[in-house]
Amino acid sequence: MSYRSENYEKIAATLKKNFEKRQIDFFYCDTVERAKEQVLSLIPKGASVAWGGSLSMEESGVMDAVKNGDYRTIDRHRSSDPQEQKKIYGEIVCADFFLMSTNAFTLDGQLVNIDGLGNRVACLSYGPDKVIILASMDKLCTDVDEAIRRVHLMAAPPNALRVKADTPCSKTGVCADCQSPGSICCQTLVTRISRIPGRITVVLTGEKLGF
Ligand code: SF4
């Protein structure tokens, strides 16, 4: 085991205690493959599953497994008609499971997420019965302020490129604290506690995923 892996195992033990104090379930898996299996083991066959845009879920192979598995998937992109999309969003908030990553998390067990439209953070805070979060350990921050800075510095600019957002950061690579109509940083959610015990599960991996 490398020193980094050993260090991550030790941090994970602290994170587990801190997330569980906040009624958030927690698993640490050293590899992406194990993390993927952990996520899938939490979802019973036949469950309805929705998701927020997540590179981590895609890169890990979870999305392929879910889309090709024995689940009732709810894809918000299945229609571009506004009325139909409204109906789909209604299904998403009533889903059994919602899959996403987190933009950052803190050593004391808080989740920090910043959204454009806000559909992802809305489902994290309320709606789907269970929320499963998959993220890599490099999203760890010491506190909420650092986590918000991390999102603007490391996550939002490449994400703006990914979704082809018309923002200053997609042109320069650097956050300009913009108020652009196309900003992907309109809503900031800090999840301090899961009011419903075990509604949120965090699965962390020691290998790199996402931004
Ligand atoms: S420039 Fe705007 S969209 Fe880009 S990271 Fe900063 S606030 Fe977010």
- Ligand 1 atom nearest 179 alpha carbon: 2
Give per-residue pLDDT as tens, 158-198. 999 999 999 999 999 999 999 999 999 999 999 999 999 99
CATH topology of domain 3-140+186-205: Rossmann fold (3.40.50)
- Please list every protein residue whose CB sits less than 6 Å from any atom of ligand 1: 152, 156-157, 160, 167-169, 175-178, 180, 183-185
Note whether 144 and 104 are within 8 A (CB): no
Confidence of residue 98 (pLDDT cuts 50, 70, 90): very high
**Residue with CA nearest ligand 1 atom 2:** 178
Angstrom distances, CA of residue 17 to CA of 11, 13, 107: 10, 7, 10
Query: Taking 90 as the threshold, does the pLDDT of residue 53 lie above it?
Result: no
Pocket test for ligand 1, best of 117, 177, 186 (most atoms within 8 A of CB): 177
**Residue with CA nearest ligand 1 atom 3:** 183
Q: Is 52 left (phi over 0), alpha (psi -120 to 50) or beta?
A: beta
pTM above 0.85, yes or no: yes
The whole-number average pLDDT for the span 25-46 is 98
Note whether 39 and 62 are within 8 A (CB): yes
Ligand 1 midpoint to CA 175 (Å)? 5
Give per-residue pLDDT as tens, 130-169. 999 999 999 999 999 999 999 999 999 999 999 999 999 9
Domain boundaries, given as residue ranges, for the chain: 3-140+186-205
Task: Give strand pairing partners of 29.
Answer: 205
Q: Can you tell me the distance from the alpha carbon of 77 to that of 179, in angstroms, rounded to the nearest whole number?
A: 26
